[in-house]
Structure 1
Amino acid sequence: MLENMTDHGFDLLDRQLVQALMIDGRAAFSRLAAVLDTTDQTVIRRYRRLRGAGLLRVLGLPVGERVGLFESRLRIQCVPGSAVAIAEALAHRPDTGWVKIFSGGSEVGCMVSSRTSEDHEALLLRKLPRTQQVTGVSAQSLLHQYAASSGHWMGPAELDEQQIRALQPPASSQEDTIRLDDSDHAMLSVLARDGRAGYPELAKATGRSESTVRRRLEYLRGSGALSFEVEILPVHLGFRTEATLAVTVAPGDLAEVGRALADHPQVPFVAATTGASNLAATVLCQDQRALYTYMTEGIGAIGAVHQLEVLPVLRHVKRAGLLSDGSRLFDPPR
């Protein structure tokens, strides 16, 4: 499992490439090479090596609040000894992601994204409550996800401000909810496996022309309905401690605190939620001592935080649509 995996020794160019992809996961190899001051062939070779070894993958994912998905973060209390089985059952559902077991060993957390309210309610109101080994379920609806002001990076910055600006994609517009059709869903299915899939592959999957697919992808991205994220095991960048945070702030401070947390390098995800706590976040640290420092000096320095619950993650069973297998997280490139 993840805790048994070793650091694969990313060198400086590897780390720069990862950070560049976190800024723009669809950036052309030629553009990446120009910003990183190397050759196209070198960037292609590095990317293929990292992806082929199962160390990195770029994913194109719909933004739930922009495309009308019904999204909830679940905390599921289980009978002792049953957490692994429940987590694995959830992980095999196509509508779940980020399935994890918390350190107590009897609680599972996950994200559920459903295309219809009926599917969402079926899981929350019928399937989970009827599972004998489940003793309790709490669900928080995601209201808004906060984005970092610049490309998010989980470690010391490897790119300078000029390089970051050169890679920064145009800011997305916030229009009304985007309605997706069957061709869009077909394209998103491909991008969920490989966010850098070429336009010929996307055209074949959707039945559209390459030019139409290109325009549609750019529209979805420009309207904030589609984002490109880099999945990489944090342990390979030296981060061995992960925790889920449940944060409570006054409603008037919610947006300010959410944006502040999003800019913390330790926080790859933060969103406003319903429920007793109104912010949910993921934090990555080098070790438990670093987690303590972040709690006291990072989030602890934000005076608007009234209450903080920290749930250390014992095991990841699934990430964003990807099952963990203990040695190779990702499928090799096709």
Structure 2
Amino acid sequence: MQGSAISGFTFPIRLCHSGSVPPESVDEIDLALINALQVTPRADWSALGRALGVDPSTAARRWDRLHRAGLAWVTCVLGPALHGGYCMAYVEISCEPGAAEPVAVALSARAEVRYVYRLTGEHALLVVLGLLSPAELAGALEHLVEPLPGVRSVRAELRTAAYGEASRWRLRSLEPSQRQALGSPSPAAPPTPVAVDEIDRELYRLLHEDGRMTYAALADRASISEPTARRRLKRLLATGMLRPRCEVAQSVTGWPVTAVLRASAAPRDLDSAGRALATLPDVRSACALTGPRNLLLVVWLRSVEDLPRLEAQLTERAPGAVLADRAVCLRTLKQMGRLLDPDGRAVGATPPNTGPLTW
């Protein structure tokens, strides 16, 4: 663990293993393995090996290599059963010259900060926070964001609806036969909030660290029996309290450019526009926000030159939405708890904010 000092406080940052795998050395089998884990993040190595046509030990060895290099990782996030119980805020920050990077690094060290994007345009940073209430957001802005040296102005909006999550974005590396071999995902049961305790919260913290942690390792780290770890985790996943997801360094995906688009839609068109745009393959996430620019999209593109093409698709797919602003991401510093280097490799992690995991 290493600490990061902010305004007199120190917050723990877990350093990830650093590997020496250059992005260009990732091959098609590696990408297919990552794609398979996007579909089934906790599948066993036998199932993954059968789908990919490789020995299970080969699949495990390849994953260990990718994971140690920070090129791919499985984490765990709060599931749909809890989405209505906390407050997601999207905060645009403009900074004095030279201050954007230190402000971004300082905010990245906080558990409640989910994403940190450094952007082109008027606002140098877009920061996404997960909190329990608007009142908590007010406190975070007053005590966490606004006092940071170099912050010039802050504009925050609350998410009112989520149309597409980043966990649904997929590489397109699997052959149809490989997808079929993985099997069809079980139909998701309706999210059902259930009572949780400190053991459940500890399982969440451990899975946030490594979403493929075995039941035996979970049991050992949480000081419970393996059957208890298995039973509790299956319950948390089945009820939609938690959701594992596989992430990948953007530099190896073939879609190395991130853009953030803001649009305005009339209330009668907002829901249909959001749902339509969330289905576009390049869209990582789509949500409705408060404020006049009430639709936000985060997209991954093959090049900056693809941005006009995507904007044309947006106009065609959702004629009721008017594009209001666009920015290209110069660097993503944090992505769902992982600290990233300029190539998008995971180089550290902050503990998850377990506050929303209460019932």
| Match for residue 203 of structure 1 among 219, 223, 227 | 219
- The 1:15/1:127 distance shift into structure 2, 3 A limit, reads closer
Offset, 1:177: 4.2
**Contact in 2 for aligned 1:81/1:105 (Cα 8 Å):** no
Offset, 1:210: 2.1
**Alignment of structure 1 residues 14-163 onto 2, 5 Å:** 14-63=30-79, 66=82, 68-104=85-121, 107-115=124-132, 119-131=136-148, 133-147=150-164, 152-154=169-171, 156-160=172-176, 163=179
* Matched residue type, 1:186: E
- The 1:6/1:32 distance shift into structure 2, 3 A limit, reads closer
Aligned to 1:240: 256
Q: Which runs of 5+ in 1 are unaligned?
A: none
Structure with greater strand percent: 2
| Alignment partners' CA distance in 1, 2:238 and 2:339 | 29
**Contact in 2 for aligned 1:151/1:164 (Cα 8 Å):** no
- The 1:277/1:63 distance shift into structure 2, 3 A limit, reads farther
**Contact in 1 for aligned 2:259/2:329 (Cα 8 Å):** yes
| Alignment partners' CA distance in 2, 1:294 and 1:187 | 40
| Alignment partners' CA distance in 2, 1:71 and 1:163 | 33
Offset, 1:126: 3.7
| Alignment partners' CA distance in 1, 2:266 and 2:303 | 30
| Match for residue 292 of structure 1 among 302, 308, 311 | 308
Q: What CA deviation, in whole Å up to 9, does each residue of 1:160-218 have, x standing for no partner? A: 17725844432333345455432222111111111101112222343433222222222
The alignment's TM-score, normalised by the length of structure 1, stands at: 0.86
SS at match of 1:187: helix
- The 1:175/1:31 distance shift into structure 2, 3 A limit, reads same
> Is 1:272–2:285 an aligned residue pair?
no
**Contact in 1 for aligned 2:108/2:116 (Cα 8 Å):** yes
**Contact in 1 for aligned 2:23/2:251 (Cα 8 Å):** yes
The alignment's TM-score, normalised by the length of structure 2, stands at: 0.80
| Alignment partners' CA distance in 2, 1:70 and 1:218 | 26
* Matched residue type, 1:94: A
Q: What CA deviation, in whole Å up to 9, does each residue of 1:115-150 have, x standing for no partner? A: 5665433112343234452222222222333348x9
Query: Percent of aligned pairs with the same residue?
Result: 26
Aligned to 2:316: 301
* Matched residue type, 1:73: Y
* Matched residue type, 2:258: E
